Structures are given as structure tokens and as C-alpha cells.
């Protein structure tokens, strides 16, 4: 772990456990409601977005616990995780925005913003760490928390809202 990450090891361990549990919960939600999810054109993408968001947090917190890695390497890893966690859901969301399935524009925009809020802090934090700014770790923490919120939002939709 970097000297910066050493101070944050308890945070990374706690968030790794939380993201792993929520990722498992998403898988259960998908398996329980698979026929309902597949019946709505936009829900498979929504399920994928939730998985990607939580997987990003899971991967990032795991990388934060790697022993003896330089801050610059953690920054590069965070940047890569952030870019993947941003681009993959954005592709799904842009396809969804172009379809007219009775969802308001504000909900479509909220979905895109939630995805960005969950992933872009990883990229920003990664860039800051690569530039030698230890404040980048706070951006990573914010991204992890936003990813968990986005994942919980996805779980809610796949378990509760789908039944309405």
C-alpha cells in the first residue's frame, strides 16, 4: 500500500466488504426478477449499470489494499477503473435515452448523472494521485461512496420498483 493508502486501509476494507455484499445482492435481485427485467427493454441495461458501478467500487477498493504500490500506480489504476466505469454505463444510457419508453427526460438525465457521479471521481482522484497530490484519495473515497449509492439505487429499482 502507498503511505497514503495505509492511512485509508480501514476505509478500503470496510468499503470492499460493502461493495462485495451489494454486488451479491444485485446478482440475487437479477436472478429473482429475471423474467420481469427481460420484459422491459431498459431494465437489462439498468441491471448492468448497477453491476458495473458496484464492480468499480469493488475493484478500486481491492487495488487500494495492494501492498507497497506507489501512489502513481494507484492513481493510474483508479483512472482506468473510472474510465471503464464511466464509459460502459454511458453507452447503455445513451441507447436508453434515444428510445421513447414513457420515461421522463428528467429521469433519463438523473440516470446519466448518477452514473457519472459514481465513476468520474475515480478518474479525477487517479489523475491527482498520478500528479503527486495526496488529495486524490479523497476523490477515490467520494467515488466509492457514490458507487455504493448508485448500486443501492439499482437494487431498489430491480427489487422494489419493478413490482409496481
Contact between 49 and 115 (Cβ < 8 Å): yes
The domain spans of the chain are 3-163
- Name every residue whose Cβ is closer than 8 Å to that of residue 145 and which is 6 or more positions away in sequence: 15
**Worst-scoring range by mean pLDDT, 21-25, 113-117, 119-123, 131-135?**
113-117
CA 84 to chain centre: 10
CB 57 within 8 A of CB 122: no
pLDDT, residue 163, reads: 76
**pLDDT per residue as tens digits for the range 150-160:** 999 888 888 88
Q: Could you tell me which residues come within 8 angstroms of residue 144 by beta carbon, excluding any fewer than 6 positions away?
A: 15, 19, 57, 60, 61
The whole-angstrom separation of Cα 3 and Cα 8 is 9
Amino acid at each position: 500500500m502507498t503511505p497514503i493508502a495505509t492511512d485509508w486501509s480501514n476505509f478500503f476494507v470496510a468499503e470492499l466488504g460493502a461493495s462485495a455484499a451489494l454486488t451479491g445482492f444485485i446478482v440475487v435481485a437479477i436472478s429473482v426478477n429475471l423474467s420481469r427485467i427481460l420484459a422491459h427493454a431498459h431494465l437489462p441495461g439498468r441491471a448492468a449499470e448497477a453491476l458495473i458501478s458496484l464492480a468499480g467500487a469493488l475493484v478500486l477498493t481491492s487495488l487500494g489494499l495492494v501492498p507497497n504500490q506507489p501512489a502513481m500506480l494507484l492513481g493510474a489504476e483508479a483512472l482506468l477503473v473510472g474510465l471503464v466505469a464511466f464509459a460502459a454505463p454511458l453507452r447503455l444510457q445513451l441507447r436508453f435515452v434515444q428510445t421513447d419508453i414513457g420515461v421522463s427526460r428528467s429521469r433519463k438525465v438523473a440516470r446519466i448523472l448518477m452514473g457519472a457521479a459514481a465513476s468520474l471521481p475515480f478518474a479525477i482522484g487517479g489523475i491527482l494521485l498520478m500528479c503527486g497530490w495526496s488529495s486524490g484519495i479523497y476523490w477515490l473515497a467520494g467515488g466509492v461512496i457514490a458507487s455504493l449509492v448508485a448500486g443501492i439505487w439499482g437494487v431498489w429499482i430491480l427489487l422494489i420498483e419493478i413490482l409496481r
